[in-house]
Amino acid sequence: MAREWTFRRIAPPRGVWRYVAALAIIILSTLVAETIYRTFETDRLSMVFLAGVLVTAVTLGQGPAYFGAAAAFIIYDIYLVEPRFEFTMTSAEDFLVLIVFLAVAMLTGRLAGRVREAQSSAEARARTAGALFRASEEFSASDNEDAVRQALAERIAEAGRGQAVVLYDGRSWSAPPGLSPPEALSDLAGRPVDGGATVREAGWRLRHLRADGAVLGLAVWRLTPTDGRMADNPADDERLVDVLVDMAGAAIARSRLAEEQAEAEARARTEQLRNALLSSISHDLRTPLAAILASATSLREFGDRFDAEVREDLTLTIQEEAERLNRFVGNLLNMTKLESGALTIEGVSFGVAEVVGRVVQRVRRRAGARELVSHFTPDDLAALGDPILTEQALANIVENAVRFAPNGGRIDILGRRDAGRVVIDVIDQGPGVPDDELRMIFEKFYRSPATSTNQQGTGLGLSITRGLVEAMGGEVSARGRGDGRPGLVVSVTLPGAQA
């Protein structure tokens, strides 16, 4: 069963009941005056009635205060002016006293009533400002259109002490929690609403959510009585709801604009990455293919003119470039498997020195004049994982170090045991990476602006390394050398195994 969305509060009587309450206050004042009259035998009781008129004005307003002043005038004359229980004035002095009393009572009622009305008006303005402020905060904090509509529905229900449903596309809707849409909602949604006007239909109000002339949705709400009474200022509530709807329209327009901007930026980044990837892949494919083609062509056309050493060198070039091409394709395949979750790992114990030796053998020719040095503590250091994937991961790190290390530089590959795990450090003498970029170098396609100007590559190697190592239950990190010299230390940590 749908819950009625209402806000209850203690409100003063309305309509004729305000005058009944005013009469009750004056009668109570009369009883007090009678008690004082009998106790102290004094007829100076006008202040008691003035106090009653003042209370009436403060609590019920000017109209009931005037009525109370007239009632006090009559009762004062009947009950407290000699002869009692007669509405007569035996002297000009009595007449003057009563007239002055009536004038003072009327003036007191008017002034106190105006104070009450000013206070009520200030409270209403404060409530309106508070409602607008809360709505503005909620609309600003909402990160999508649905959240804005939901917030609008709740703000309308609170402001109008009623219920609200916010429509869009004529089908979907947002409403306060526990409130079901009316059965005639679709019929109401189908009715035309002119511009920014609010239309009334069968107790419901309809107003378009608009921004820059575009219709963004339709707000449908109604104001319901509270304890059988309508709100104190229904016109003010109507104006407040109209403002809330317009604010929500602007918020939805901002949300759509932000989403469009985010989509445009995402498309631009995707296009940029696609172009960079295609450019890098084409280079990384062309380079080994060109070397293979040149070496094979030379052997075919001039092989009989070359001595054995040259032919061996060309053959080795073909082999190495083919292996390089194979590693590149393997990286792409591994990236695809990592992205799809199809990479399966069978953890076995393997010797770290053996795997690193194969990595050094693969990279040595490309290292040129750079020195590759490996050292392990202990010598029979063993790790748990996939030796082939570990070799691929380390090869990506060492090749990256070779790419940035200067000619004649040194690259150290150190293995050690740390708290039951195996740590492999690759230390180079390159330019290093700024501290704020250390975590980003393992992101796909990332290349540091400080080091990528004259270097080629897809920016996938270290990203694939991280994926492979983490798939084996390890982790990879990067840091500066820490000895005051330029360079980078990339550490691979794997589960340890018994040698």
Query: pLDDT at position 298, please?
Result: 87
CATH of the domain at 434: 3.30.565.10
Indicate if 350 and 487 belong to the same structural domain: yes
Indicate if 105 and 185 belong to the same structural domain: no
Task: Tokens for 261, please give them.
Answer: 């901007």
* CB neighbour class for 93 (10 Å; exposed up to 12, middle 13-18, buried from 19): exposed
- 78-125 pLDDT tens trace: 766 666 666 565 566 656 766 776 777 677 777 777 777 777 777 777
Indicate if 198 and 119 belong to the same structural domain: no
Indicate if 345 and 413 belong to the same structural domain: yes
User: In this structure, is residue 131 part of a structural domain?
Assistant: no
Comparison of pLDDT for 305 and 450, the residue scoring more: 305
User: In this structure, is residue 130 part of a structural domain?
Assistant: no
- 353-409 pLDDT tens trace: 999 998 998 888 778 888 999 998 878 899 998 888 898 889 889 988 888 888 888
Indicate if 88 and 190 belong to the same structural domain: no
Domain extent, residue 80, equals 16-124
Pick from 39, 35, 21, 40: nearest CA to 79: 35
Query: pLDDT at position 398, please?
Result: 92
User: In this structure, is residue 471 part of a structural domain?
Assistant: yes
Rank 232-246, 408-422, 448-462 by mean pLDDT and report only the highest.
408-422
Indicate if 348 and 485 belong to the same structural domain: yes
Q: Is 161 left (phi over 0), alpha (psi -120 to 50) or beta?
A: left
Q: Is 259 left (phi over 0), alpha (psi -120 to 50) or beta?
A: alpha
- pTM of the predicted protein model: 0.46
User: In this structure, is residue 179 part of a structural domain?
Assistant: yes
Indicate if 148 and 109 belong to the same structural domain: no
User: In this structure, is residue 237 part of a structural domain?
Assistant: yes
Are the C-beta atoms of residues 296 and 319 closer than 8 Å to each other?
no
Query: pLDDT at position 476, please?
Result: 93
Indicate if 31 and 163 belong to the same structural domain: no
Indicate if 355 and 430 belong to the same structural domain: yes
* In 181-340, beta strands by DSSP E: 199-201, 204-211, 214-222
Q: Which of 89, 124, 159 is the last residue of a domain?
A: 124
Indicate if 355 and 463 belong to the same structural domain: yes
Q: Which of 224, 258, 292 is the last residue of a domain?
A: 258
User: In this structure, is residue 291 part of a structural domain?
Assistant: no
User: In this structure, is residue 164 part of a structural domain?
Assistant: yes
CATH of the domain at 203: 3.30.450.40
Are the C-beta atoms of residues 318 and 295 closer than 8 Å to each other?
yes
Q: Which of 258, 284, 302 is the last residue of a domain?
A: 258
Place of tokens 């980078």: 488
User: In this structure, is residue 436 part of a structural domain?
Assistant: yes
